A = this chain, B = another copy of it.
Amino acid sequence: MKDFVFSNTTKVYFGKDQLHHLSEEIAKFGKKVLLVYGGGSIKKIGLYDKVIAELKKADMTVFELGGVEPNPHHTTVNKGAALCKKEGIDVLLAVGGGSTIDATKAMAATAKYEGDDCWDIITGKAFVPDNLPIVAVLTLSATGSEMDIGGVISNVELNEKQPIFGPTLRPNVSFLDPTNTFSVNAYQTASGSADIMAHVFDVAYFTDQEEMDMLTRMQEEVLKTVVKYAPVAIEKPDDYEARSNLMWASSWALNGFLFSGVSQDAIAHMIEHELSAFYNITHGHGLAIIIPRWLTYILSDKTAPKIKRFGVNVLGVDASLSDMDGAKAAIAALEKFYFETLGLQSRLSDLGIDDKNFALMAKKACSAKGKLVGFTTLTPADVEEIFKMSL
């Protein structure tokens, strides 16, 4: 395995009675806070009021930016960054799911950029080594943004969705209260759960790199956690045990530990990002549609053993099958989980997507190196074929 550095500086308050620490934590960073949130669900569940009460307790001056989109727009990021500069914001507080936290991270970096367009940073035209501090209150178990170093921002004018990364973009403090996910509906719970699994698949599990055995098995435990608890949370949205396990699984799927010593290939993510860039679909749902087709497309004597192992260890596939048959059974079991147990629609056409942009999307997915390098290397023609299989 490769040498690696592990460092995760996010302080996590986990549980149902932790938000009262928000005032003391936020006050450490200054007096002026920009509160960032999405479509307003945090008002419906009463979280907005609780957060405001904490900020008042800390005697903070509060500025607000609501309405962050799912697949957040770079223009919204720019708006937030401009507000930070104009008002001299000391700290950003993201209250929401991955989109809100991702947008907040990009705002925090752009606020330290002499230019005004976050897209310069995201595309590597500008390098900004620093950012304003970030505190997060999580409301959706999915992206892992609450404890990771990245975010993903969409440029709707260009139909592009690109990541922003940086070691200082990890939230300084994150509040993870499973009860804040009780109101997440079945569809978003399913999509978020598919996203958690995809992080395990994509950053570590389905790789041709040499891994550390202990971590491979822990990755399987995260996958098994999702397989066990996502259906429970869908059936009984206020099941604290299920919501807790999903929430902690979401953080650990992507916070660095499980892929110690392995470079992140993120192939399925690179393919899916084109879907949500072009069609603004829910990221986790897009991943659930793509991943079984991707695994089917790359199935070979080389990839079959690991795919079978996944099926045996996570989904109860018969261990006595041959590698190839076991791998096929694993993919079938995964499809069954996504499309029957979680109830996600199985085809891009179900989401109103046709094949007209597939060639362009495939090319864009491979734009960084002309191909996607990982578990198996994919050319644009391969990616286009995977889109077609998903139609």
Contact partner of A221 (CB less than 8 A), chosen from B17, B18, B218, B228, is: B218
- Does A40 sit at the interface, judged by CB under 8 A? no
Nearest-Cβ distance from residue A92 to partner chain B, whole angstroms: 20
Q: Which of B8, B18, B212, B252 contacts A8 (CB 8 A)?
A: B8
A16 in contact (CB, < 8 A): yes
In the complex, chain B residues whose CB is within 8 Å of the CB of A109: none
Q: Flag if A4 contacts B9 (CB, 8 Å).
A: no
Q: Are A5 and B11 in contact (CB under 8 A)?
A: yes
How far is the CB of A169 from the nearest CB of chain B, in Å? 17
Whether A12 lies near B16 (C-beta < 8 A) is no
Chain B residues near A12 (CB-CB < 8 A): 5-7
Chain A: residues with Cβ within 8 Å of the partner, total of 39
Contact at A6–B14, with CB atoms within 8 Å? yes
A217 on interface, CB distance cutoff 8 Å: yes
Q: List 5 A-B contacts (CB under 8 A).
A: A3-B15, A7-B11, A7-B12, A9-B9, A214-B245
A187 at the interface (CB under 8 A from B): no
Q: Which of B213, B225, B252 contacts A228 (CB 8 A)?
A: B213
Whether A212 and B261, one on each chain, are in contact in the complex, defined by CB atoms closer than 8 angstroms, is no
Interface residues of A in 216-250 (CB under 8 A from B): 217-218, 221-222, 224-225, 228-229, 241, 244-245, 248-249
Closest to A219 in B: B221
Q: Which residues of B contact A11 (CB under 8 A)?
A: 5-7
Query: With an 8 A cutoff between CB atoms, is A165 at the interface?
Result: no
Question: Is there an interface contact between A14 and B248, defined as CB atoms closer than 8 Å?
Answer: no
A12 to B7, CA, bound (A): 6
Q: Tell me whether A214 and B248 are in contact (CB under 8 A).
A: yes
The residue of chain B having its C-beta at the shortest distance from the C-beta of A217 within the complex is B221
A245 touches B5 (CB 8 A): no
A260 adjacent to chain B (CB < 8 Å): yes
Nearest-Cβ distance from residue A31 to partner chain B, whole angstroms: 24
* B213 A222 Cβ-Cβ under 8 A: no
Bound-complex Cα distance A229 to B215 (A): 14
What's the Cα separation between A257 and B252 when bound, in Å?
Answer: 10
Residue of B nearest to A246 (CB): B214
Determine whether A13 belongs to the interface, using a CB cutoff of 8 Å to chain B: yes
Q: Decide if B17 touches A214 in the complex (CB within 8 Å).
A: no
A86 within 8 A of B: no
In the complex, are the beta carbons of A4 and B14 less than 8 A apart? yes
Decide: B8 and A3 in contact? CB cutoff 8 A: no
> Does the CB pair B14–A245 fall under 8 Å?
no
Q: Which of B7, B15, B257 contacts A4 (CB 8 A)?
A: B15
Q: Are A14 and B3 in contact (CB under 8 A)?
A: yes
Cα distance A241–B211 in the bound complex, in angstroms: 10
Report the minimal beta-carbon distance from A130 to chain B, rounded to whole angstroms.
17
Verify if A44 is at the interface (C-beta below 8 Å from B): no
